[in-house]
């Protein structure tokens, strides 16, 4: 396995890092405090090509390979300090765009993918419910067939991008056919009658990525809104989650690298007791641990991308990477705050925000506990795999 970037990848990454640093960080402390999503930044992300990476060229995208996408995510994660914006990009790409690329009909691809690549449509993924989180398929949202349409009823919660989304990937179950085989996926436009979105849900981190509940009250959608065939929703969801957890922490590599560089610089220049604090093992060893976590995280994610490019099975590898990288992200955030001392706890230094933003990584796209259960099942240790 050779993960050295090609000259083209290296050039693209340099462009992305510079672009992200200059264009995506304006007024971030205030926007984070107020939970403000930046549509201007979203437009810029689309213009630089990030939203088109997994989309085929005939629909306005780049059809990039997985390793190229991972290098791009790390680069933009290094330059962009707005982790909330990047999380919205992930939610759009992996849980919105990718299932349409994989399972969408020709008509759905033609209708949705070009404006999604241009940033004109924002996607959201509606699966979790107030009564079903990790046990995702215990949903109560129903899709009843009535003639040539389906009528959706139910409530989805923790829907990232919901307040700003134009298109929702909604999962619902046939009321007469419960269980995996009764689940279907639908593409539901925001203006569909019966669909409404709650006020944004406040969060401790990723505040610039809005989240809300989606209510479906006798919401009619045509049969053409089916994503894949009827009853194939479980397969759509499982594939989507595997793809999402493969890439969603790619930008975290960039954030971890940025925080590491800031800690090294701070430890070299901050003096206490007559010497730079980097001279104390309590500080230097902590920073070395940050470096080890970053290198191990990078190897796990790039190997995962390498496997995807070769159509190898990645269910266990994605689960293991999701656990390790998300927990490394949190620990390195704690270390960065500790290295900076009281300064690290202030909003001005923007270190504490990375820590707050990292915490959700152990929850979204399947909790760390679920990923461990999935891996344990694949290793033959349990008789039942994880639902999410």
Residues 97 and 38 sit within 8 Å (Cβ to Cβ) = no
Residues 83 and 251 sit within 8 Å (Cβ to Cβ) = yes
- The whole-angstrom separation of Cα 144 and Cα 218 is 10
Give the residue among 116, 120, 76, 75 at the shortest CA–CA distance from 98: 116
Taking every pair of C-alpha atoms in the chain, what is the biggest distance, in angstroms?
80
- Which residue in the list 17, 244, 317, 352 is annotated as catalytic? 244
Residues 241 and 366 sit within 8 Å (Cβ to Cβ) = yes
Which residues on neighbouring strands pair with residue 183, listed in sequence order? Answer: 173
Could you give the 3-state DSSP secondary structure of residue 186?
A: strand
Angle at CA of residue 250, ends 248 and 252, nearest 5°: 95
Rounded to a whole number of angstroms, the distance between the first and last alpha carbons of the chain is 30
Residue environment code for 15-51, b if the CB has 16+ CB neighbours within 10 A, otherwise e: ebbebbeebbbeebeebbeebebbeebbebbbebbbb
Active-site annotation holds for 244: yes
- The whole-angstrom separation of Cα 116 and Cα 64 is 16
- The whole-angstrom separation of Cα 185 and Cα 172 is 7
- The whole-angstrom separation of Cα 294 and Cα 272 is 27
Catalytic residues: 244
């Amino acid at each position: 396995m050779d993960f050295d970037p090609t000259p083209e990848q290296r050039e693209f990454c340099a462009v992305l890092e510079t672009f992200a640093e200059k264009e995506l960080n304006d007024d971030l402390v205030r926007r984070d405090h107020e939970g403000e999503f930046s549509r201007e930044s979203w437009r810029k992300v689309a213009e630089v090509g990030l939203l088109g990476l997994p989309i085929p060229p005939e629909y306005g995208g780049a059809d990039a390979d997985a390793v190229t996408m991972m290098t791009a995510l790390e680069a933009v994660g290094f330059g962009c300090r707005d982790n909330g914006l990047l999380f919205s990009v992930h939610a759009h790409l992996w849980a919105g765009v990718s299932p349409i690329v994989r399972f969408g009909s020709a008509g759905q691809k033609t209708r949705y993918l070009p404006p999604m690549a241009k940033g004109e449509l924002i996607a959201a993924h509606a699966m979790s419910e107030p009564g079903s989180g990790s046990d995702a398929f215990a949903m109560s949202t129903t899709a009843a067939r009535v003639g040539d349409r389906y009528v959706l009823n139910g409530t989805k919660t923790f829907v990232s991008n919901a307040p700003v989304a134009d298109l929702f990937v909604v999962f619902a179950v046939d009321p007469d056919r419960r269980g995996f085989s009764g689940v279907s996926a639908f593409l539901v436009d925001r203006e569909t009658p019966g669909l409404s979105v709650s006020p944004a849900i406040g969060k401790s981190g990723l505040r610039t990525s809005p989240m809300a509940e989606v209510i479906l009250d006798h919401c009619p959608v045509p049969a053409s809104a089916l994503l894949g065939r009827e009853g194939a929703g479980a397969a759509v969801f499982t594939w989507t989650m595997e793809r999402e957890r493969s890439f969603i922490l790619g930008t975290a590599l960039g954030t971890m690298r940025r925080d590491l560089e800031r800690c090294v610089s701070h430890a070299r220049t901050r003096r206490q007791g007559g010497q730079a604090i980097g001279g104390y093992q309590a500080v230097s060893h902590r920073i070395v641990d940050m470096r080890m976590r970053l290198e191990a995280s990078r190897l796990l994610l790039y190997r995962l991308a390498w496997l995807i490019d070769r159509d190898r099975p990645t269910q266990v590898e994605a689960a293991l990477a999701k656990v390790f990288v998300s927990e490394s992200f949190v620990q390195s955030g704690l270390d960065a705050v500790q290295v900076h001392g009281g300064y690290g706890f202030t909003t001005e230094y923007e270190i504490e925000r990375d820590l707050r933003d990292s915490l959700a990584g152990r929850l979204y796209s399947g909790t760390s506990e679920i990923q461990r259960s999935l891996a344990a099942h694949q290793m033959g240790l349990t008789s039942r795999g994880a639902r999410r």
